[in-house]
Every structure is written in C-alpha cells, then in structure tokens.
Amino acid sequence: PPAPPPAPPPRRSRKTVSLDTLVGSILNAMGISIHQRRRAAALFQRALVEGPAVLSELAGLGGGGPLLAPGQSLLRLHERVAEVRSEPAPICAVCREPPQPGSACILCCCYGVMCVACLDRCPTCLLCRCRRCSAALVPPLDAPPPPPPLPVDVPSP
C-alpha cells in the first residue's frame, strides 16, 4: 500500500517561540557568564535526549553554590516538556483537549499548556492571568535537533 501523505507542519502562532528561546530568557536572568549560559543551554538540549539527570550539572554553575532559581526553572521546564511528550498528554487550558503532537505550547509565564490554535484566542493567560507575550512550541520527539549555536567571533587585540 502507498505510504500515507506526510502530516502538515504544525500551525505556528505569532506568539510562539522555540524552546531554545525560552531557555535563553531563563538563563539571561542568571548572573552567569555567556560561556556558562551556553553550557547550560547545551545541558538542557542534552537533557531532552538523555533525561533530567544531566541537569544536575547546573548546580556547578555560578561558583558551585546551590541551584539558583533560574536553574530550578530549567528543571521545571524540562519536567513540563516531558509531560507534554508523554501519554496521556496534559490537556489544553482553553479547549480542554490534549494538543496534537507538535502543536503543544508551554506558556512562558507559568509553564501551563495550551494548543497553538487556542494561543491566539487568549489575550491573557487563563491560568495565572499574566499578560504573557509568548509560549514555547514543544517539538515532537521525532523532530530533528536544533542546529548548534554559531560561535561568537572575538576580535583579536
């Protein structure tokens, strides 16, 4: 029998950002160097593939002190991504249906879940009433990994 036609790409909202963008905004709140932020972002990407134990390395950032609040936010974000990708998936806060694979969004304000179709319908977050400006679109498990970040050229003296 012929192969079924490929599924159309998920509809993208103007309010969606990538998971990498959300991770970057969390890391920007940390008082760490750009090198450490890049290392933490790479750890998060590894954790999506290898599991959350990789994120324990975040405790070593910023002088080896206790895990900072943004580090805890990364742990929580990882938990939500795992929940969205699991069965049964969490339900959308608006339509009360589980989002289709590749159309689930994690709200940047409170890490609630909405489907991309409902995201444009809501001017504020229904869960925390925040005037959120974006949500991270969760790629399905079989999505290709994002490209590695480009190196930053530092001019030589």
State residue 57's pLDDT score: 76
Is the confidence at residue 29, as pLDDT, over 60?
yes
Q: Report how far residue 42's alpha carbon sits from residue 58's, in angstroms, rounded to the nearest whole number.
A: 11
- Which CA distances in Å does 23 have to 31, 72, 82, 142, 152? 15, 12, 15, 20, 19
* Predicted confidence band of residue 13 (pLDDT cuts 50, 70, 90): low
Is the confidence at residue 36, as pLDDT, over 70?
yes
Is the confidence at residue 82, as pLDDT, over 80?
yes
Q: Kindly report, residue by residue over 96-152, the tens digit of the pLDDT.
A: 998 888 889 998 888 889 988 888 888 788 888 887 667 888 887 765 555 555 554
State residue 95's pLDDT score: 92
Q: Report how far residue 94's alpha carbon sits from residue 64's, in angstroms, rounded to the nearest whole number.
A: 41
- In the chain, pLDDT over 90 holds for what percent of residues? 5
